């Protein structure tokens, strides 16, 4: 009488790779290399943009408003690298001047919105209670209105110009900063050093100014940087609709708005190059802001390094 041989055991599954193992180190190294490359490309794009805005107008001794009807709608060439518009103006100079105006609007609106949002968010988080609830209900109410519609309403109350657009963008974009700052303040209020300051007799105002606001400044600064391209797009949308800057003012939105007829006629360059001048700075700022976010958020950075 023979006994059946025991069935062979199934091989045990291989243990998952350790975070300290070579596979994870290789993956983390690739992520770091990709992130470094993204930061360098973004920095190069932003540097080229800033240099173009600062150096091209003084070096190129041409009037960006000079009209030459004999050279209208010429395709890109050595004489006019970006071509000319519908009245013969050099499109490269027009794009550079338009980028200067759009950057001015974006930076001014972002700084204004950040100051307002930081003040409102810090006050709501520091006071708490019914003041916090009232402020956040106001924020929720304003957020329920589309930004573009609210911006059109604000701009319609003023004459077309740079500062009405700045006010419009700032009044519609401080809400996200207020939410971020309030959440950060509520998180900081539970820290032991805040309890120690309160136990030591520090007033609420002193705790807010000396301890809470310095803790939220990195997040507020990051929000301001990310808001610059958003404000540029908002200005371009308002100008494209004819409600932002005057048509004789060179901004990226007015350039695209004035090129609609040329695009329908088959001339692509008056629309393409102003659009690229909006997209490239946006990508550059987004890439640098993403790296900055990883530096000020250690938990997120540790997750990305795995």
Distance, in Å, from the CA atom of 238 to the CA atom of 93, rounded to the nearest integer, reads: 22
Of 292 and 12, more confident: 292
Compute, in degrees rounded to 10, the torsion defined by CA atoms 152, 157, 160, 162: -80
**CB–CB of 253/236 below 8 Å?**
yes
Asked if residues 305 and 32 have their Cβ atoms less than 8 Å apart, the reply is yes
Question: Is the pLDDT at 8 greater than 70, yes or no?
Answer: no
CB atoms within 10 A of CB 23: 11
Q: What is the pTM of this model?
A: 0.76
pLDDT digits (tens, 9 = 90+) for 222-232: 888 888 888 88
Residue 114: pLDDT band (50, 70, 90) is: very high
> What contacts 297, CB < 8 A, 6 or more positions away?
none
What is the Cα–Cα distance from 62 to 89, expressed in whole angstroms? 10
For residue 195, the model assigns a pLDDT of 74
pLDDT at position 15 over 80: no
> Would you state the pLDDT for residue 303?
37
How does pLDDT run across 262-299, given as a tens digit for each residue? 777 778 888 888 888 888 888 888 888 777 777 766 54
Tokens standing for 300? 């997120």
Q: The tokens 């770091």 sit on which residue?
A: 32
Residue 106 has pLDDT above 50, yes or no: yes
Split at pLDDT 50, 70, 90, the class of 116 is very high
User: Which of the pair, 106 or 19, is modelled with greater confidence?
Assistant: 106
Domains in the chain: ranges and CATH: 82-305 (1.10.3720.10)
Evaluate whether 289 touches 225 at the Cβ level (below 8 Å).
Answer: yes
More confident residue, 130 or 203: 130
pLDDT at residue 24, as a whole number = 46
**pLDDT per residue as tens digits for the range 123-141:** 888 888 888 889 888 888 8
Mean pLDDT on 206-228: 84
Neighbours of 285 (CB within 10 A): 22
Q: Report the alpha-carbon distance of residue 94 to residue 249 in Å, rounded.
A: 10
pLDDT at 60: 65
Rg from Cα positions in the chain: 27
Looking at residue 64, its pLDDT comes to 63
Return the residue matching tokens 């609420």.
204
The pLDDT score that the predictor gives to residue 29 is: 56
What residue has token string 């207020």?
178
pLDDT at 306: 34
Res. 259: pLDDT tops 70: yes
Check residue 267 and report its DSSP letter.
-
Summarize pLDDT for 47-91 with one digit per residue, the tens.
888 888 787 777 665 666 667 777 788 888 888 888 888 888 888
- Token representation of residue 273: 């190059």
């Amino acid at each position: 009488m023979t006994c059946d041989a025991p069935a062979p055991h199934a091989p045990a599954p291989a243990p998952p790779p350790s975070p300290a193992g070579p596979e994870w180190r290789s993956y983390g190294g690739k992520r770091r290399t990709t992130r470094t490359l993204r930061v360098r490309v973004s920095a190069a794009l932003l540097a080229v943009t800033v240099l173009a805005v600062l150096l091209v107008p003084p070096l190129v001794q041409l009037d960006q408003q000079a009209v030459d009807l004999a050279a209208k709608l010429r395709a890109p060439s050595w004489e006019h690298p970006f071509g000319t518009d519908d009245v013969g103006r050099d499109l490269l100079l027009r794009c550079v001047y338009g980028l200067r105006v759009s950057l001015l609007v974006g930076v001014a609106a972002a700084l204004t919105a950040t100051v307002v949002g930081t003040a409102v968010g810090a006050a709501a988080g520091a006071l708490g209670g019914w003041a916090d609830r009232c402020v956040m209900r106001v924020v929720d109410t304003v957020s329920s209105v589309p930004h573009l519609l609210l911006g059109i309403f604000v701009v319609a109350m003023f004459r077309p110009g740079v500062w009405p657009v700045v006010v419009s963008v700032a009044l519609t974009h401080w809400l996200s900063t207020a939410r971020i700052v309030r959440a950060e303040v509520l998180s900081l209020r539970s820290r032991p050093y805040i309890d120690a300051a309160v136990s030591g007799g520090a007033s609420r105002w002193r705790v807010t100014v000396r301890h809470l606001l310095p803790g939220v400044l990195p997040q507020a600064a990051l929000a301001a940087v990310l808001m610059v391209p958003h404000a540029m797009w908002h200005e371009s949308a308002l100008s494209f609709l004819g409600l932002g800057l005057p048509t004789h003012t060179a901004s990226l939105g007015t350039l695209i708005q004035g090129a609609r007829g040329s695009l329908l006629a088959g001339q692509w360059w008056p629309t393409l190059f102003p659009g690229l001048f909006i997209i490239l700075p946006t990508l550059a700022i987004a890439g640098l802001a993403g790296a900055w976010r990883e530096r000020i958020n250690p938990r997120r950075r540790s997750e990305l390094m795995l």
